[in-house]
Amino acid sequence: MGARPLYMLLSLSIPPQSTVSINIDEFLSGMRSALDIYNTALVGGDVTSSQSGLALSATIIGVAENTPVMRNGAKSGDKVYVTGCLGDSAAGLHALRKLGKVVRIENSETTDDFPVPWNTLKPLITRHLMPTVKQIPSTEHMSSMMDISDGLAMDLRRLCGESGVGSRIYEKNLPISVEMAALCRYLKLNPFDLCLCGGEDYELLFTSSSCDSVTDAVYIGDIVKGNSVTIVSYDGCETELKDCGYDHFKN
């Protein structure tokens, strides 16, 4: 929405086992490092005991210097943009499952028994374990915006639904990283499936009518009249965008 985070409230319910307490210390250390990235402070919350299992909930409080950019402002004629490569987080998850071991992204891992080199795997695994949201210098010319947390296909439909419009995106314009493409070749995955359905990339999806003012973003399509959400393949065939992504009420 074009805001920046300021404060976090954390609620913890912790069982009495001592082993969990050690893990909590590690968790809080990692959380502090993450908050430092965004210059955000932990200012309060709540701690209670738990009879079974660990539960935690975080609330972030932020501020927008300008009017927040909502999902419902896209108009026919706007162009559709994303701020970076898509599918990397899903590829990172596939890599972790294939590796079958704990990976500490702050270390230089050895993957001699894995045919894909570490310098290819690391950015994908990092995107999955420690995603970052790009800072937008200006939202002045944006008509709608949201982050891509559940997959481009699902989140684009949500944005179009809120705005009462349709969209047409182009397969040739979808940004795919060389690392993700390399891992997909090895695992025999379709990179466009990860790009459209993967989710948890936390790149920003936005629309704008002023293409000259947009920098550091990738044009992937257009907002159109109606309610259809379609994709144009490399050979020019236009079809309904597949219905995929993470549904919080089904998955």
pLDDT digits (tens, 9 = 90+) for 107-159: 776 676 788 888 899 999 999 988 877 777 678 889 999 999 999 999 999 99
- In the chain, domain spans: 4-63, 79-240
The pLDDT value given to residue 238: 97
Six-digit token pair at 7? 């404060």
Q: What is the domain class of 79-240 according to CATH?
A: alpha beta
CATH level 3 topology of 4-63: 60s Ribosomal Protein L30; Chain: A; (3.30.1330)
The three-class DSSP label of residue 42 is: strand
Q: Is the pLDDT of residue 251 over 80?
A: no
Q: Is the pLDDT of residue 160 over 90?
A: yes
Q: Is the pLDDT of residue 38 over 90?
A: no
Determine whether 81 is exposed, middle or buried from the number of CB atoms within 10 Å of its CB (0-12, 13-18, 19+): buried
The pLDDT value given to residue 171: 97
Do residues 207 and 142 touch, judged by C-beta distance below 8 A? yes
Report the candidate in 83, 68, 214, 89 with the shortest Cα–Cα distance to residue 147.
83
As separate numbers, helices (DSSP H) first and strands (DSSP E) second, the chain gives: 6, 10
Cβ contacts of 36 within 8 Å, gap of 6 or more: none
Type of residue numbered 156: L
Distance, in Å, from the CA atom of 55 to the CA atom of 39, rounded to the nearest integer, reads 25
Q: What are phi and psi of 220, to 5 degrees?
A: -120, -10
The pLDDT value given to residue 18: 58
Higher pLDDT, 137 or 52: 52
Distance, in Å, from the CA atom of 105 to the CA atom of 86, rounded to the nearest integer, reads 20
- Cβ-defined contacts of 46-51 (< 8 Å, 24+): 46/11, 46/12, 47/11, 47/12, 47/13, 47/14, 48/11, 48/12, 48/13, 48/14, 49/13, 49/14, 49/15, 49/16, 50/13, 50/14, 50/15, 51/15
